[in-house]
Amino acid sequence: MIRILLADDHPVVREGLRAMLDTEADLDVVGEASSGPRAETLAAELRPDIVLMDLRMPDGGGVESIGRMTAAGLPCRVIVLTTYETDGDILRAVEAGAAGYLLKDLARGELADAVRAAARGETVLAPSVAARLVDRLRVRPERPHLSERETAVLRLVADGCTNAEIGRRLFIGESTVKTHLLRTFTKLGVTDRTAAVTSAMRHGLL
């Protein structure tokens, strides 16, 4: 039995997803969340196998929650289920640790198959999303390179340090810490600290 947590701020969407998944004998919806932080709490409490996560929700977006769940080492695999398919949205979700990125126009059978595939450890992507990722890889195939100082700063970010704490430990100003982080974000193609740590770990930089 594959245990599933639904995370979407629209009740009608959650009801529809539950109705679709409940018809499958091997899929069990064990909880619902209407925000990213609530999804994080339920994922820790219920330990689902799969989290179906909307990308944009109140009280914190889906990408931020995916990053925190990944950093916390939760065993669930997160599939983004959204209407958005911009390059930025896709890359941020994958870099944060998403195991899949699907669009809400998929059929019931396709959704069920994607959940099963993700539970087996596979990556599941909508065809248009996969095409976008391939195009991006063709343009930027190289591995990012961080300087020794940028790596040191990012390692302290991963340890949970604030910019002020990082500055004190490395004997540099807080403004210098911010500069290093901005350069790191640019090199990794991300826009926030959580995504930067996740991306760096995926590239073997931390």
- For 43-96, give the secondary structure using H, E and C: HHHHCCCEEEECCCCCCCCHHHHHHHHHHCCCCCEEEEEECCCCHHHHHHHHHH
Task: State the pLDDT at residue 139.
Answer: 54
Q: What is the pTM of this model?
A: 0.66
Delimiting residues of CATH 3.40.50.2300 domain(s) in the chain:
2-138
For domain 2-138, the CATH architecture is 3-Layer(aba) Sandwich (3.40)
Q: Residue 150 and residue 52: Cα distance in Å, rounded?
A: 34
Q: How far is CA 181 from CA 50, 163, 165, in A?
A: 32, 9, 14
Delimiting residues of CATH 1.10.10.10 domain(s) in the chain:
148-203
Task: State the pLDDT at residue 138.
Answer: 64
Tokens 């619902």 found at = 32
Q: Residue 145 and residue 120: Cα distance in Å, rounded?
A: 32
Helix pair angle (36-46, 62-71), 10° resolution: 30
Task: State the pLDDT at residue 59.
Answer: 75
CB burial readout 56-81, b (16+ within 10 A) else e = ebeeebbbbbbbbbbbeebebbbbbb
Task: State the pLDDT at residue 41.
Answer: 95
pLDDT beneath 70, residues of the chain: 60-61, 136-142
Quote the tokens at residue 127.
């065809």
Find out if CATH 3.30.70.520 is the number for domain 148-203: no
